[in-house]
Structure 1
Amino acid sequence: MKATLERTDLLKSLTHVHRVVERRNTIPILSNVLLRADGGAINLKATDLDLEIVESVPAMIELPGATTVPAHMFYDIVRKLPEGSQVVLETTSDNATLEIRAGRSKFTLQMLPETDFPDLTAGDFSHGFALTGADTRKLIDTTQFAISTEETRYYLNGIYLHTVDAASGQHFRAVATDGHRLAQAEVPAPQGASGMPGIIVPRKTVGEIQKLLEDPEANVQIELSETKIRLTTGSVVLTSKLIDGTFPDYGRVIPQGNDKEMRVDRDEFKEAVDRVSTISSERGRAVKLSLSEGRMVLTVNNPDSGSATEEVAVEFDAEPLEIGFNSRYLLDIANQLSSDTALFRLADSGSPTLIQDNTVEDCLFVLMPMRV
């Protein structure tokens, strides 16, 4: 194999691809990236057996071929090469090492045969449709923070994607929850999504998709079956196994009868929560919201360090109410709101609270209260 390509193009692709490779592997081939030179491009592929990324890079191919080299080492070498340089990749005559040359720099890396490299993409995809980069990013960014990290509840370790029928038509919805908070976002269902199975996309895959969505205008082609999902955007193809489990009936935890409404300036609220939570303990993080007509007082008490209070003007004309929340969870939700005013729908101090944008209705958040 011998190929010449731009260092900038190679580095951009390696940045996407090498992240999939785990730092520690018991199977040596999984530490490597597969390079396949053919036609006018080099295809780079990396996998951890659950997730696979393939990206093609334009190159001048003198001798077609394929090999695998250590992914993180290769990435570090290319990252440190001079900007704007041409990189020559050439396998040695004994087929044991890959030479990397750029300017006066020369490196050799040990290779493993490409025949040992696993392939994740086998199997048929029953449904396929396209979303814009902006819609895909919205669904992921709005819900990703609520994914559970508790491994025992593995079915909550991802984002649940499915279609729902509403009066305004069919919607494509993303939901994530960790049992303490729930995030839901939706966009109009794209053509081809009707009848798709509900799927749970794993947390690591969600993180990689986020990093690939660089162009909000670019279309994201999505194909899925009951066990796998494949996304294609630009020259990148990401294939991932899905979480094999049943997502809980989240509709039961979304409160329907919360009749106390409180409206507050989003930024003012966010800054106030951030300030008073400085006092909170790392473990507790509790902030108390005392609501009365026209005002809200935020209070944090920490027996080890002190206390903090701040008053914020709000629209609220129901009976006075005191309720406590985890301050970090409040900030996570406030950061996802897009309108200037946040709408809180409350019932009492022990019931879940519904939080929404005042004007936008395609996202909602549920937050369980804390005792304070």
Structure 2
Amino acid sequence: MRIIIERSNLLKSLSHVHRVVERRNTIPILSNVLVRTEDDGMRLKATDLDIEITETVPAIGEETGATTVPAHLLYDIVRKLSEGSEVKLATNGEGTQMTISSGRSNFRLQCLPESDFPDITAGGLSHSFSLKASDLLRLIERTQFAISTEETRYYLNGIYLHTVDADDDLSLRAVATDGHRLARAEVKAPSGSEGMPGIIVPRKTVGEVQKLLGECGEDDMVAIELSDSKIRFTIGAVVMTSKLIDGTFPDYQRVIPQNNDKALTLDRQTFSAAVDRVSTISSERGRAVKLSLSPDQLMLTVNSPDSGTATEELAVEYGSDDIEIGFNARYLLDITSQLSGESAVFMLADPGSPTLIRDGGDETTLYVLMPMRV
């Protein structure tokens, strides 16, 4: 194979595909990226056996062929080449080495044969639809922080994506929870998503899709194909296929409180800044912040046996009975950072029950937060 390509195009594509390659691999071929030259350009492919990502890049093909080279090494080499340069990739007759040349720089990398490279994309995908990139990004950003990192409850290690029919209006809903907090967001269900299975998209896949969506324009569309075991995202020239988590997501509706009748309305940014300030003295062991509520007044308190005490008063809208309730400060900051409106509405019941948090600027999202003892 022999091909000439713009360094900027190659670098951008490698930045997408090399991220799925794990730094440490017991299977050597999984450390490599598959490079295939075609008449219309060059195709790159990488996989960790759970996620496969491919991208086609414009290039001048002089001789077609395919081989695999170390992904992170190739990325680092291209990253350090001069901006605006052209890169020439060529393999020797046996296909055991690839030469990378640009200007006066020359590198020779060891190759592994294309025939050893695994393929996870086989199999049909039963449902397909298109979604605005901005809508998919919003679903991810509003819920991703609540994904569990506890490997024993593997079915919580992703975002649960499913359709919900409410009042003859079908919505595509994303839910994530780690048992301490729950995040739920939804958008109008796109045509083609009717009857799709409820699926759990793994945390690593969610993170990679989020990075790709960050490069999209406001009106760009994402093609989504899925079955009950795999999902494929086509974002511009990038195609990402991922296995899904094989498990049953819990009935999250049961933990969303229905009868919390104490309404607290506050300014989101003022509250977030105050929580951040008082939690400065809290220890990592106990990041609890106590909320003491009385009519139209909120007192935030943090007690740290090692450091001391911090308090701050805020004017709020609250007209119910006095209540004291504690929350993990980091969880409060995580949730308030996702809210888009100026105000946040907390619906409380008692110090031992979950609290419902709504976004004053977005009716399609809600959060549930478990209290802490303070």
Normalising by structure 2, we get a TM-score of: 0.99
- Secondary structure in 2 matching 1:251: helix
Candidates 289, 296, 299, aligned match of 1:297? 299
Q: Which residue of 1 aligns with 2:331?
A: 329
Q: Which amino acid aligns with 1:161?
A: L
Write the mapping of 1:1-372 to structure 2, written as runs, cut at 5 A: 1-167=1-167, 169-213=169-213, 214-215=215-216, 216-372=218-374
Q: Once structures 1 and 2 are overlaid, which stretch shifts more, 70-79 or 94-103? A: 94-103
Query: Where in structure 2 are there 5+ consecutive unaligned residues?
Result: none
Cα distance in structure 2, aligned partners of 1:33 and 1:358: 46
Structure 1 residue identity aligned to 2:49: L
Structure 2 contact 158–200 (Cα < 8 Å) conserved? yes
Contact 2:131/2:190 (<8 A) preserved: yes
What secondary structure does 1:362 align onto?
A: strand
Q: What residue identity is the alignment partner of 2:332?
A: L
Identity of matched residues, %: 68
Are the counterparts in 1 of residues 339 and 361 from structure 2 also a CA contact under 8 Å?
Answer: no
Cα displacement (A) at 1:168? 5.9
Q: Which amino acid aligns with 1:90?
A: A
TM-superposed CA distance for 1:93, in Å, is 2.6
The runs of 5 or more residues in structure 1 that have no matched partner are none
Deviations 1:298-341 (A, max 9, x none): 00000011110001110001001100000000000000000000
Tell me the alpha carbon deviations over residues 80-129 of structure 1, each in whole angstroms, 9 at most, x when there is no partner: 00000000000023321100011110001000000000001000000000
SS in 1 for 2:46: strand
Instruction: Verify the 8 A CA contact 2:282 2:303 in the aligned structure 1.
Output: yes
Query: More deviation in 196-205 or 164-173?
Result: 164-173
CA distance in structure 2 between the aligned counterparts of 1:18 and 1:283, rounded to whole angstroms: 37
Cα distance in 1 between the residues matched to 2:114 and 2:165: 47
Aligned pair count reads 372
Counterpart of 1:226, as a letter, is D
> After TM superposition, what 4+ stretches of structure 1 lie above 3 angstroms from structure 2?
none
Secondary structure (helix, strand or coil) at the match of 1:361 reads: strand
Distance in 2, Cα, partners of 1:155 & 1:122: 24
RMSD: 0.7
Pick closer, same or farther for the CA change 1:281–1:168 going to 2, 3 Å: farther
- 1:128-151 Cα distance to aligned partner (Å, 9 max, x none): 000001000000010000000000
- The residue identity in structure 2 corresponding to 1:250 is Y
Amino acid at match of 1:107: F
Alpha carbons 2:297, 2:315 under 8 Å: kept: yes
1:19 is paired with a residue whose SS is: helix
